[in-house]
Amino acid sequence: MGTSSARRAPSSRLWRLAKAAATRYLAPEAAVPVAAGEVVARYLAALNETAGVDAGALAAFRLTRKVAQNLGGLVSLAQSQGWPVALEAWGLADLAGQPPEALALGLSAALAGPGGELEAVVARASLASVLMQGHEEPDPARWVSGFLATALCQRLALDLGESLEAAAPGFRPLKGGLKGLQAWIEKSLAVLPLGPPPDPEHWRGLAGWLWVTSLLAGWLEQLMQSKK
């Protein structure tokens, strides 16, 4: 996960509050730090404002949800019939037996698509990161939740990167701060009841879309309410 000073988030009141929280997270005022939860909550509130009251922050992750649905479908099939069958079903039989790096890049491109907008770039990078971790067992719920957590971490790092970089006294504190945000986000999702995922044949249809959307909606709501 990295940041980019070239990425500048909007400058509305809620975005200013999010940027201020990111600054104080790495450079506490009067030695009183801002918790990682507050940075995440204020960031999501700003996203919520940008998307509009009716759409909410969930609208900022529409492509992310589709990629998560694709990932769930692939992993669910791998869980029931093995990776060679799953890859062949997606037209990716040539990736079977490839090194982890080649497999991760090939799958991320196929499942996330070629779009160049911010969400697409984050989705591909997050998917490749999750695939590179090489989970021992193909568990669709675990893989999808890991992807969503990684995507949120990377999106936040890009949108608030300028404030985080400016506040950090050096690369090591910046890296540590980002790891702290990622750990907090992953922990918050790990304790969220996931519910049983769809069967392999239902992942790529409405059932898969609703499962991912319900998971993400409940998680974002929980994150926006938590500042500890």
Most confident of 103-107, 202-206, 220-224: 202-206
**Cα–Cα distance for residue pair 119/153, rounded to 1 Å:** 12
Name the pLDDT band for 114 (thresholds 50, 70, 90).
confident
DSSP 198: P
> pLDDT, tens digit, for every residue of 19-76?
999 999 988 765 677 899 999 999 999 988 776 555 567 888 999 999 999 999 999 9
Whether 213 and 22 have beta carbons less than 8 Å apart is answered as no
> pLDDT, tens digit, for every residue of 134-161?
656 788 988 999 999 999 999 999 999 9
**Taking 90 as the threshold, does the pLDDT of residue 108 lie above it?**
no
Q: Which residue has the tokens 């893989």?
A: 143
- 3-state secondary structure labels for all residues of the chain: CCCCCCCCCCCCHHHHHHHHHHHHHHCCECCECCCHHHHHHHHHHHHHHHHCCCCCHHHHHHHHHHHHHHHHHHHHHHHHHCHHHHHHHCCCHHHCCCCHHHHHHHHHHHHHCCCCCHHHHHHHHHHHHHHHCCCCCCCHHHHHHHHHHHHHHHHHHHHCHHHHHHHCCCHHHHHHHHHHHHHHHHHHHHCCCCCCCCCHHHCCCHHHHHHHHHHHHHHHHHHHHCCC
**Taking 90 as the threshold, does the pLDDT of residue 18 lie above it?**
yes
Q: Name beta bridge partners: 29.
A: 32
- What pLDDT does 66 receive? 93
CA angle 140/209/67 to nearest 5° reads 65
- What pLDDT does 188 receive? 85
Q: Name beta bridge partners: 32.
A: 29
> pLDDT, tens digit, for every residue of 167-217?
888 889 899 999 999 999 988 887 777 778 899 889 989 999 999 999 999
- What pLDDT does 4 receive? 46
- Three-state DSSP class for 29? strand
The structural domains of the chain, with segments of one domain joined by +, span 13-225
